[in-house]
Chain A
Amino acid sequence: MSTIITTMFNGLSLSSIILLASIGLIITFGLMKVINMAHGEFLMIGAYVTYLVQLFFQNFLPAAVFDLYYPVALVVSFAVTFLLGCVLEKLVISHLYGREVDSLLATWGISLILMQLARTLFGTQGVNVQAPGFLTGGLSIGSVTFSYNRIFIICLVIASLIIVSAVLNKSSFGKQMRAVIDNRPIAQSMGINSRRIDCLTFGFGSALAGLAGCSLALLGSIDSHLGQNYIVQCFITVVLGGVGNLAGVVIGSLIVGFSTIWVQFYTSSNIANAIVMVIIIAFLQVKPEGIFSRKSRALDD
């Protein structure tokens, strides 16, 4: 019984991690139709920023406030990756709208640069982050332990979903964003500064990745390959859920997370990854638009 509960929890935890890493992708890939292969590196940057903030607190601030580093890190990761996302958009992405394949390739080049930057700054060895006090240990119910950091990630994901959904649907920024994506000329003729919206939108999507990276820092060591470990699963999850669909990605990540943990139970993590990928690819043959799709009049989209 306890194994089942632990497995379920692990599945939920993995799903939440994949979902957290993918939320930003919904905005850049799903809405803006930009393939940002450097998305994984934004995860990595968020994680490294967390490490740096922790170092700062460790070395320059009294031990009593050490635990505060984490909330600060969340904010700083968000801000740093937001800014970086905006810069990337201005320099590279803005030239590539409508050229999906090219955006994929160009951002891969950026990804190489960012990974090397990480190696130059932090070396090739992984660094570790010490979890803040309130997130160490776990909640024990009977014979099962739910580690706090994983619970935190699940909560963070839910909070992020709510915030993103609110921003997209309720805020004026969200409305402007959707207007520009839907029909740029009309949006421009209504006085919306589409260039600025593009920049902010992409920055927002990247910032969500930074936030995810901040949480990933709690789970293991951080090195330049952190992003690469997640990028494939993230993209496949977004495609599986039906590109551009928040609900779809949630379902998609639940499927990927749970099935990976379940298969892992019988085999190993690598085989689980392989099998889950193959199953998803097979599923996409049957339903190429993903789980939830928007039917459009165009033959190709």
Chain B
Amino acid sequence: MDDEARTIMKIRRVSVVFDGFQALTDVTADIPEHKISFFIGPNGAGKTTLLDIICGKTRPTQGNVRLCNQDGTETILTRLPEYKIVRLGVARKFQTPSVFGGLSVMDNMMLSLKGHKSVREALFYKMTEEDRTLILDTLKQVGMESYTEERAGALDHGHKQWLEIAMLLVQKPQIIMLDEPAAGMNKDETRKTGDILLAIKDRCTIIVIEHDMDFVRQIADEVTVLHEGKILVKGTVEEALENKEVQAVYLGRGGEKDA
């Protein structure tokens, strides 16, 4: 694994306990900038919990997550409320598409723009040409520039997912985290999603949780395997999948995961 990439996020000794259940134990990882890093593993391994910790939905019982800023300083994310983490440029896409169904695609994008988040600004906000151009360009990247007036709730599953990715992209985030983006998509849609991510990775850093191995092979730069809340292996796709322990964990669970 090449290590010229700057580390943009440090996960240090994160443990999470829910009511006696140990979801994550002592997880430590460095996320390299401008790369696509995958977290894979059987269900219940703690992958979603890890994303929850990073974006602030859950607090770790131990450990912390730090964002490495351009100027060399570090910001401890695990102390901040969600909306502040978002404003720092850490964006998350949830497993089930969660767009604002009652609003149009254009409105969904408008709400996702950076800035103007306070109540007062929101009352008097008027969309500038610059904002409109940015929104349309971002929609173009996911192939949805003609969908602006559609009601988001009326879109099909694939388009909802891409809208959500567009909503993340328009924030020009530093880090995008995706939880099973290929879920519910057919082969073509999955491939298109992969192409979108490959096209944007030089502008940000991407963390993905996924089960679909074709998708992993298509775009992953590095893969970390989680099992029962602990890191099993980290490396390239081949290294991870050829690892004996990883195979045992997957086979022990009943066979191949990429169905």
Binding site for B on A (CB under 8 A): 295, 297, 299
Contacts and interface: CB of A to CB of B under 8 A. Distances in A.
B19 A299 contact: no
B57 interface: yes
B18 A299 contact: no
5 contacts: A295-B18, A295-B19, A297-B18, A297-B58, A299-B57
Contacts of B57: 299
Contacts of B58: 297
Contacts of A295: 18-19
B60 to A, nearest CB: 14
A297 B57 CA distance: 10
Q: Please tell me the size bucket of the interface on B.
A: under 10
A89 B58 CA distance: 37
A289 to B, nearest CB: 13
Contacts of B19: 295
Interface of B: 18-19, 57-58
Nearest to A299: B57
Contacts of B18: 295, 297
A299 B19 CA distance: 14
Contacts, number: 5
A297 B16 CA distance: 11
Contacts of A299: 57
A196 to B, nearest CB: 31
A299 B57 CA distance: 8
A295 B57 CA distance: 15
A103 B18 CA distance: 31
A270 to B, nearest CB: 38
B59 to A, nearest CB: 11
B4 to A, nearest CB: 38
A210 to B, nearest CB: 37
A245 to B, nearest CB: 15
A71 to B, nearest CB: 45
A233 B142 CA distance: 54
A299 B56 CA distance: 11
B151 to A, nearest CB: 21
A121 B57 CA distance: 54
A297 B18 CA distance: 7
B164 to A, nearest CB: 19
- Cβ-closest 5 pairs across A and B: A295-B19, A297-B18, A299-B57, A295-B18, A297-B58
B104 to A, nearest CB: 25
Contacts of A297: 18, 58
A264 to B, nearest CB: 40
B22 to A, nearest CB: 13
B61 to A, nearest CB: 13
B21 to A, nearest CB: 9
Nearest to B18: A297
Nearest to A294: B19
A295 B59 CA distance: 14
Nearest to B23: A297
Nearest to B48: A297
A299 B58 CA distance: 8
A295 B21 CA distance: 12
A299 to B, nearest CB: 6
A295 B58 CA distance: 13
Nearest to A297: B18
Nearest to A295: B19
A24 B58 CA distance: 34
A295 B19 CA distance: 7
B92 to A, nearest CB: 13
A164 B117 CA distance: 50
Nearest to B16: A297
A39 B18 CA distance: 35
Nearest to B57: A299
A301 to B, nearest CB: 13
B33 to A, nearest CB: 29
A33 to B, nearest CB: 20
A186 B19 CA distance: 23
A299 B18 CA distance: 12
B47 to A, nearest CB: 14
A72 B131 CA distance: 74
B250 to A, nearest CB: 25
B53 to A, nearest CB: 13
B108 to A, nearest CB: 21
A92 B18 CA distance: 37
A10 to B, nearest CB: 40
B188 to A, nearest CB: 31
